[in-house]
Structure 1
Amino acid sequence: PHGGHCWGHVSSIDLVHWRHHPPALTPTPDSPEVGIFSGNCFVNKKGEATMLYHGVNAGNCIATSSDKDLNIWKKLPNNPIIPNPPPGSPYASWDPHGWLENDTYYAIFGGTRPAIFKANELDKWEYVGDLFAHGIQGVDINEDVSCPDLFKLGNKHVLVCISHRLGCRYYVGEWKNEQFYPEFHEKMSWVDNAFFAPETLEDNRGRRILWTWIFDGLKDETLKARGWSGTMSLPRLLWSGEDNTLRMCPIEELSILRYNPRRLDNFTIKADSELCMKDIYGNSFELNIEMIPNSADQFGVKVFCSPDGEEQTVIFYDSTDKKIKIDTTNSGLGEGPKSIEGGPFELRSDEPLNLHIFVDRSVVEVFANNRQAVMRRVYPTRKDSQNVLLFSYGGDTKVKFIEAWDMTPSNPY
């Protein structure tokens, strides 16, 4: 029946506080789809906002809007623009991403064999061929590409996407001759696929900003009982490093949520010890820490700590594995992911570690030296799991500074 998944609609002037609009796209009895899945929005030749989306049980579809608030959308009468093809076809009409290049519309159609389509008019599309010009080491060329988003960053093109198995990931390469030539591939979720479904935009300042969907990691019956599911990640600013890999940090606008600032400077954590931050605690705060290791094997910060250590979420640099990690093995006594997430990250010789950490009730996001980021969902069960501790194992660690702010809610709920 009609009435399944739809596209919500929110708007913001600061990327922090959001206004809810009526749903933008919904399945209706007079449209071919029974649900609205992933896609993107771009501006067409007439200057109209154009949504290219997957219509469930139909294929990829288009809707346009010339309404200044984007509240009114018109679906193309000939949707789907490309119906779901029969088995054995060289493409799937799945998870599209479209754009206007010169006078030609292009679109990526996702799937295990992602494809390129093009058109001169929005209702007349033709198959071009495979998206990828060749494979690349470290990932199968037939790895599922869903929620694709292709954009120019620096002097390269970046393709962010998911596979349903791996979660969020990205390629760096070149878009030319109507194909993508990948040169590098990296994951953005490692132990599981909980960092999912990326979307980016370029704002009016020319910044490339990324969001993702963060999985809950809870049982279905728990989600149904609480009546809601799904959380968006913090918006991340993306740019290209000298090595053409992604650099990332939280957007500067998040600082408007700060209050109750605290700071400590220049102290040392002795080897194999922990230090409780007496004035820093809670379940909704931002930390900025710079640490200089001596010979420590592991060092970092613990959040959501109970006084006896029964519950704790551990954020640290592992110098042996050369990863930035979040250990949620003991984050809660009940449900929630119990694992160690770890993103590849190596400190250079004499390079300090900068950890920019956002703790927001069940979400922990960590940014390391603007070169890597890791995320976890956590569900502490004890009311006294509020403490923050710094630690150093295997050697001393100097803390150049630690800054902390409480965070005010960005919405009234």
Structure 2
Amino acid sequence: MNLRIASGFSAGIDPYPPNAELLGSVNLPFVIVADHPGFVGASVKLIQRMLINEVVGLAVTKFFFNENAVEVSPKDAVRYYTGTLNDDFTFTPEHHGVLDPGGWEGFYAPNVMEDGKGRKLLWAWMPEVARGAFEDAKGWAGALTVPRQLSLTADGRLRMDPVPELQRLRGPCERLSGLILCAGADEGDAALANAGSACLLQTRGRALELLAEIELIDANASFGFKLLHTDNDEECTVIVFEPEQRSFHVDRTRSSLSPSTHKAELRGEIDWAAGSTVKVHMLLDYSLLEVFAGYDSCLSARMYPLLEESDRVTVFARKGSVSFRSLQVWAIRSIWP
């Protein structure tokens, strides 16, 4: 079919282009919808061009809510839908999920491009909203997420991977294998705050890449990671995975001693079955954290630790037993010479 679409940006205020772009005959299996609570049901007038698996797709990131074509990028979680665009231009969704629930706390105004290799790459803005009234973080306008390579799985779900070029920044690596953690072993340790059995890694730092392959031994198992923490957890950022609840979250309650920074918990979705083996991939760059949970769920967050010694890394089991088949932690080198 001949599909006419309007190209646009992913945030801001722009007029609706008078002439839509003709993309030709396409089969369209992929659509991302930016859901905005205040404008549910509003007419979508601006969309962004995207190519997935050599066919044209759409990333819907604009909502047209008056005749002046004002558009808005949602400040909360952006949902995606994959499915088929029918000949009558109706869309049949087949799968859906959250692109990234970070919102203003870490993931805003996503944009997509195709590079020279034909890869479909997504970036988003990680704004400074989470600093609140924290004066020491003033003067910055945020940063970008790492580029995420988009693809579709065999069953039509969205997959998001950090681009492999980031591996060039890997420095010294700490590797563990066969690590089994069982909750209850350290219940009397106040520093673990009911985290269960834990392993403090030798690696220290604020710029780290962590990649773990984990077997979920128990149906009720929950586990996680403590980053940017001191020896006594005076400051710490905690990432907890709860497969039984089909969710994971970033706990920033003690991420910073500053009372001004945001402390709200950020929560994402997972769908992991007991007995399965999953991967967790995290990129930490001082105040920036990106969590890839199985590569089909991502969460971006900002934290502002104050203490120089907030550089420890711990893995733990909070409930049940988990087996870390492999755990790798790299120090990330600076891109600057």
TM-score range, shorter chain: 0.7 to 0.9
Q: Distance in 2 between matches of 1:176 and 1:100?
A: 17
Q: Distance in 1 between matches of 2:11 and 2:130?
A: 28
Q: Percent identity?
A: 25
CA contact (8 A) 2:269 2:297 kept: yes
Deviation string 1:248-279 (CA, Å, 9 cap, x unpaired) is 11010000001112211112123233434342
What are the within-5 Å matches in structure 2 for residues 121-270 of structure 1?
A: 141-142=40-41, 148-154=47-53, 157-161=57-61, 163-175=73-85, 179=89, 181=91, 183=93, 184-190=95-101, 192-194=103-105, 195-218=107-130, 222=134, 226-270=138-182
Q: Distance in 1 between matches of 2:11 and 2:229?
A: 43
Corresponding residue to 2:214 among 281, 286, 291: 291
Residue in structure 2 matched with residue 406 of structure 1 by the alignment: 331
Three-state SS of the structure 2 residue aligned to 1:336 is coil
Q: Distance in 2 between matches of 1:100 and 1:223?
A: 49
Counterparts in 2 of 1:263 and 1:200: CA distance versus 1, 3 Å = same
- Deviation, 1:354, is 1.0
- Deviation, 1:342, is 1.8
Residue in structure 1 matched with residue 70 of structure 2 by the alignment: none
CA contact (8 A) 2:182 2:319 kept: no
Residue in structure 2 matched with residue 343 of structure 1 by the alignment: 268
- Deviation, 1:186, is 3.2
Residue in structure 1 matched with residue 230 of structure 2 by the alignment: 306
CA contact (8 A) 2:243 2:270 kept: no
- Deviation, 1:199, is 0.8
Residue in structure 2 matched with residue 87 of structure 1 by the alignment: none
CA contact (8 A) 1:300 1:315 kept: yes
- Deviation, 1:182, is 5.2
- Deviation, 1:288, is 0.7
Q: Number of aligned pairs?
A: 296
**TM-score, with length taken from structure 1:** 0.63
Three-state SS of the structure 2 residue aligned to 1:253 is helix
- Most deviating of 283-292 and 143-152: 143-152
Structure 1: runs of 5+ lacking an equivalent: 1-37, 41-51, 61-80, 83-95, 104-131
Counterparts in 2 of 1:364 and 1:55: CA distance versus 1, 3 Å = closer
Three-state SS of the structure 1 residue aligned to 2:129 is coil
- Deviation, 1:179, is 4.4
Three-state SS of the structure 1 residue aligned to 2:203 is strand
Corresponding residue to 2:277 among 349, 352, 355: 352
Q: Distance in 1 between matches of 2:118 and 2:282?
A: 25
CA contact (8 A) 2:243 2:273 kept: no
Residue in structure 1 matched with residue 287 of structure 2 by the alignment: 362
Q: Distance in 2 between matches of 1:146 and 1:279?
A: 52
Counterparts in 2 of 1:236 and 1:252: CA distance versus 1, 3 Å = same
Counterparts in 2 of 1:221 and 1:374: CA distance versus 1, 3 Å = closer
Q: Distance in 1 between matches of 2:209 and 2:286?
A: 12
Q: Distance in 1 between matches of 2:135 and 2:311?
A: 24
Q: Distance in 1 between matches of 2:13 and 2:46?
A: 14
CA contact (8 A) 1:358 1:364 kept: yes
Structure 2: runs of 5+ lacking an equivalent: 1-6, 26-32, 63-72, 185-195
Residue in structure 2 matched with residue 282 of structure 1 by the alignment: 205
Query: Cα RMSD over matched residues?
Result: 3.4
Residue in structure 2 matched with residue 380 of structure 1 by the alignment: 305
Tell me: higher relative CO, structure 1 or 2? Use CA pairs within 8 A at least 6 residues apart. Answer: 2
Aligned letter for 2:266?
E
Three-state SS of the structure 2 residue aligned to 1:308 is coil
> Highest CA radius of gyration, 1 or 2?
1
Three-state SS of the structure 1 residue aligned to 2:167 is helix
Corresponding residue to 2:23 among 94, 101, 104: 101
**Is 1:331 equivalent to 2:255 in the alignment?**
yes
Q: Distance in 1 between matches of 2:223 and 2:100?
A: 22
- Deviation, 1:378, is 0.7
- Deviation, 1:235, is 0.5
CA contact (8 A) 1:199 1:210 kept: yes
- Deviation, 1:205, is 1.8
